Chain A
Amino acid sequence: MLFSSITFLYYFLPAVLVLYYLVPSSMKNTVLLAASLFFYFYGEPAYSILMIMASLSGYLHGLWIEKARNGRFAKVPLVSSIILGLGPLVYFKYTDFLISNVNTVFGSNLTPLRLALPIGISFYTFQIMSYTIDVYRGKAGVQRNFFDFATYVSLFPQLIAGPIVRYTTIEAELENRTHSLDDFAYGVNRFIIGLSKKVLLANTLGELGKVFSSIDDKTLLLYWTYAVAFTLQIYFDFSGYSDMAIGMGRMLGFRFLENFNYPLISGSITEFWRRWHMSLGTWFRDYVYIPMGGNRISRLKWLRNITVVWLLTGLWHGAEWNFVIWGLYFALFLALEKLFLKKLLDRIPSVFRHLYTLFFILISFVIFNADGMAECIMNLKGMFGMLGVPLTSSATTYYLRSYALTLVVAAIAATPVVTDLLNKLSQKSRGAAIINALEPVVLGLLLLVVTGYLVDGSFNPFLYFRF
């Protein structure tokens, strides 16, 4: 079930909210668990059992880790939890990739399994692993109530596209959380802003991407417009989803950590990854990079660590070579910045730092969005005038004119300009009163327009569902 669907917005969500607030506190997790399981079953009936089994495995391993603590084989349950946790992810996500590469290298003729990827498996697998590792490290208490643990894993706001909420983040709230009008209203605000980012900006930019894919006479300007549009689309798509997740979490009394912090204003690739998909970045940092030694080791080993982490980050996003290259591309820039580039960047005017970052981010998302390496190379060639396409055409001009305002609005919304302005205004009592008066009106209008877009039934996939 998509958050940005009539079914979710006008059937599932009101029903869940009403039930949730009608039942006593002791029943709230039960309502959430039942709603979350239904939510998952609605989108993925066949693999619901897999998600429940993964939760059960994580729960039992948590108990086992606790029991084996201080013993001779304390690591065994941890290793077991990681193997059993990653097993289904590797099987469903990477088997065909492996088969196709084995076929290519050895000339064999193994038949691909063509398995459908269970929705959200990359997210919930990482959440369960964060739990068992943190229990092993003594950072998280073991959860003895399976239903509470299953509620954590399956919590519908963040189940299928993140943010990757660690158990420690909501450990206390699972047992005892407070609900307040302020939190609920904040949650509504974040949810509607996220929904609007997704439906009004990401989906519209996605239509431009579809135009790019379908048009035969591509031009240089169209290649670059596509690169800009997709970069903005994936940002608003994913950050919109995270906003909705955080907003709904707050409505239900949970405080999820932020997942995005205006990444497109970054002045370096290093800064970009501190602002983009923060829950994934910090996950790899805490559970892979630092355990491997982080950067407090020899330069060669550090380069190895950074390569491994970004190779895994690329593969986490998809089992295709373009994702591998995408990950290694960032490893290269992060290493270069750490070695010398960052010092150079710090000495040049900030506008050039931003241009450098944006340029290489655009290229990265062209690699990311390609349907295989052939398309990736073709699009990059097109962007750099290596396909002999004209500079522009009447069709390119038309689409640029038609999407110009959306691109401008998206570009502004990708910066903190509006938020900063509102924060500044709200510091004055009159400004705060005006903002308070306008906020319900703006949110109401956004909800109205979003509903119009949903009823009209246009382009609406979530990009991160494929991970």
Chain B
Amino acid sequence: MSRTIKNIVVTTCFIAFILGFFVINAVVPDAELSRSERRRLVALPAFTWAKLFSGDLFEEFDKYTVDQFVLRDFFRGVKAYASYNLFGRLDNNDIYMTDGSIIKIEYPLNEQAVLNAAKKFNYIYEQYLNGLDVYYSVIPDKNYFSAQKNGHLAMDYKRMLELLQSGIKEYKYIDIFDCLDLEDYYSTDIHWRQDRIMDVAARLLEGMGNPYRPSDTRYEARKLTPFFGSYYGQAALRVQPDDLVYMTNDLLETAIVYDFETRSESNVYMPDKFNGVDPYDVFLSGAKALLTVTNPMPVSDRELIIFRDSFGSSIAPLLLEGYSRITLVDLRYVATGLLDEYIDFSENTDILFLYNTIIINNSYMLK
């Protein structure tokens, strides 16, 4: 190729590229949501003279142009690919892939956050739970299973458990780490798979002295597909989607879920939410401050209160048959001081604190 032709190609391609995207970005309508990132995208900022002269208008415009750039997911994929394959980075924005599973690095251990979680749990005990049977369990995040094997960074899980055990003496610890491995979690999501945690549910029930034991034979597996989990969008790489399988039976189909916030009733499983922003909302309608799930065919009058994060949404249905009612409390959305306005902490109740390691390591989000 001659130098002149090369210069024509370079000039033409450059102008076409930047001008092309200028025109396309101007013409293509803005998107409201990014499904892959599960968030609302920045809209074109409204003009005000005050914002113009303070510079806020331009700051907002910069964010807008990045968020609304056409082919955003494709370009994020290009970046992720270049990061891993051209520059040999071991992670991209703390995300890495191993054996087809997308994993997020949670590092380092935030000891102050763990102590804060213990302090919070102790406060709740002193306020509401004195004399009751109180248990806690910790759900390892996916990085626990693969970090060491793949040479990635991981928080000091042993230290986290030691801090919790020394910080919350009134609680009985139920260890579920050995019931889980990486295959028990979705490849594209942070959460565990409900169809793979029967043994976890059994361990928790055993730990709380409840005779009920869930097993695959007691449930019918229903599959929703394809399931693109929250890590799929964060990884920005093409990987095989998961199947979202939920385990149901007559009892769970007829159980009533009551939402204190909206004062409405719904079902345990909400398959129509599979096509929403977060398909994991199929389980107990997703993030909710305070729910009760009532067993329509109770064999015991014992109740369970679970202080939980989103992992609790999928395991609670597997525990329901052992209780007459389960109350689920998400301290990220309800203040600790308001709990006794809604919950009856009676003696015939088991209390379970069930949190994954990421929440404990970032416990300041608990109210």
Residues of A within 8 A of B (CB): 1, 5-7, 9-11, 13-15, 17-18, 42-46, 181-182, 184-186, 188-189, 192, 200, 204, 215-216, 394-395, 398, 401-406, 409, 432-433, 436-437, 439-440, 443-444, 447-449, 451-458
Contact = CB atoms under 8 A, between A and B. Distances in A.
Interface of B is mostly: helix
Nearest to B76: A456
A436 B1 contact: yes
Contacts of A188: 10-11, 14
Contact of A447 (B17, B62, B91): B17
Nearest to B58: A42
A181 B8 contact: yes
Contact of A1 (B13, B58, B79): B58
Given A398-B152, A436-B5, A444-B17, A455 B11 contact: no
A457 B234 CA distance: 13
B263 interface: no
25 contacts: A6-B69, A10-B65, A14-B22, A15-B22, A17-B18, A43-B55, A44-B55, A45-B58, A46-B55, A181-B11, A182-B7, A192-B14, A395-B108, A398-B152, A402-B91, A405-B86, A405-B87, A405-B88, A406-B87, A447-B14, A449-B82, A452-B79, A455-B69, A455-B72, A455-B76
A204 B153 contact: no
A415 B14 CA distance: 27
B22 A10 contact: yes
B93 interface: yes
Contacts of B17: 444, 447
A452 B75 contact: yes
A444 B87 CA distance: 18
Contacts of A443: 10, 13-14
A444 B82 contact: no
Nearest to A44: B55
Contacts, number: 146
A250 to B, nearest CB: 12
Given A46-B54, A451-B75, A455-B69, 4 more contacts: A43-B58, A186-B7, A448-B78, A456-B80
A102 to B, nearest CB: 32
A185 B62 contact: no
B129 interface: no
A456 B233 CA distance: 12
Contact of B13 (A7, A10, A182, A440): A440
Contact of A6 (B14, B65, B80): B65
B271 interface: no
Nearest to B23: A14
Contacts of A440: 6, 9-10, 13
Given A9-B18, A402-B90, A46 B75 contact: no
Contact of A452 (B4, B25, B78): B78
Contact of B153 (A192, A395, A403, A444): A395
B149 to A, nearest CB: 14
A182 B79 CA distance: 31
A295 to B, nearest CB: 44
Q: Contact residue range for chain B? A: 35 or more
A436 B82 contact: no
B19 interface: yes
Given A1-B58, A216-B108, A454 B52 contact: no
B6 A439 contact: yes
Contact of A10 (B4, B21, B80): B21
B318 interface: no
Contact of B90 (A216, A398, A449): A398
Contacts of B8: 181, 185
A14 B18 contact: yes
Nearest to B107: A395
Interface of B: 1-11, 13-15, 17-19, 21-22, 25, 52-55, 58, 61-62, 65-66, 69, 72, 75-80, 82, 86-91, 93, 107-108, 151-153, 236
A403 B18 CA distance: 30
Contacts of A437: 1, 6
Nearest to A184: B11
A394 B105 CA distance: 14
Contacts of B66: 6, 454-455, 457
Nearest to A434: B1
Contacts of B4: 181
Nearest to A455: B75
Given A6-B69, A9-B18, A45-B52, A402 B78 contact: no
B7 A45 contact: no
Given A398-B151, A398-B153, A10 B18 contact: yes
A168 B6 CA distance: 33
A458 B66 CA distance: 11
Contacts of A5: 62, 65
- Most chain-B CB neighbours within 10 Å: which of A192, A395, A398? A398
Contacts of B2: 433, 436
B62 to A, nearest CB: 5
Given A11-B65, A204-B87, A456 B108 contact: no
A185 B151 CA distance: 45
A404 B88 contact: yes
A402 B22 contact: no
A14 B25 CA distance: 12
Contact of A402 (B10, B58, B89): B89
B79 A455 contact: yes
Contacts of A451: 75, 78
- Most chain-B CB neighbours within 10 Å: which of A1, A44, A455? A455
A448 B82 CA distance: 10
Nearest to B25: A10
A440 to B, nearest CB: 4
A460 to B, nearest CB: 10
Nearest to B53: A45
A404 B17 CA distance: 32
Contacts of A18: 19
Contact of B69 (A10, A181, A185, A189): A10
B169 to A, nearest CB: 28
